[in-house]
A and B are shown apart, each in its own frame.
Chain A
């Protein structure tokens, strides 16, 4: 990863978009009845970076986005959840991308991993006092389902963007 001014400017722009998308979602929440579940529109921007630039750039944008969101809007415990979710998700997406999957499979796997990692982090950090095993299993199944659906939606949005905006023009070569 060598740094050119153009590339840095473009990644910064996409980082700003990712932060903004997360903020828009926090201001206008779309609830589907499952607590903690949202569309995760910011992932759309991250997918764009992953496909137009690469895994390293996507991981960088993802971590920076999480830090900025935490600094601006939330607190330390939230940072642990979101950072673990973001890191695991980008790691798995980069791995799966090498397989026979398109952006849809990659995004769905990422969404699911993001959700399940946060649940795991919540279990470790907060102990989720009082939750029964049956609740955790049911919740995990809903998180897998929602992560997959949200992943497909984000993949569709990102694929439209990637087709309209030439990746070559953006990657700064």
Chain B
């Protein structure tokens, strides 16, 4: 082969470059997905009654538990598939039930009549975690 031929950019080089770019893109995307699941795994569901913590559970757990408050108040809290909601409650407005599922750090479900706050804490993007 003519030695100078080896010094010119060829089609095979372009194909190699494309393959490397593709591999890098795939790894980068995979890394991004993994990071999301890693960040999600340390998210926690905390329930506060009148400002006092009454429940602390990982969002990855599967949980269905009642939280009682004064005057026979009862909210059934359900954690499933990395989300949390109030399944049912015996409060007058039912606002907490209507709020449905939450899954992002910082999101809250509030039941005013029972003085209940359900909040997702930790994980990436949480203001509290950033401030800490």
Contact = CB atoms under 8 A, between A and B. Distances in A.
A144 B13 contact: no
A101 interface: yes
B6 A102 contact: yes
A103 B12 CA distance: 11
A23 interface: no
A31 interface: no
Contact of A132 (B9, B21, B33, B38): B38
Interface residues of B, number: 27
Contacts, number: 89
A99 B10 CA distance: 11
Contact of A112 (B4, B20, B26): B20
A167 B7 contact: no
Nearest to B36: A134
Interface string A141-167: 110110010001000000100110001
8 contacts: A102-B9, A102-B10, A102-B12, A134-B32, A138-B28, A142-B24, A152-B17, A159-B8
Interface of B: 3-10, 12-13, 16-17, 20-21, 23-28, 30-35, 38
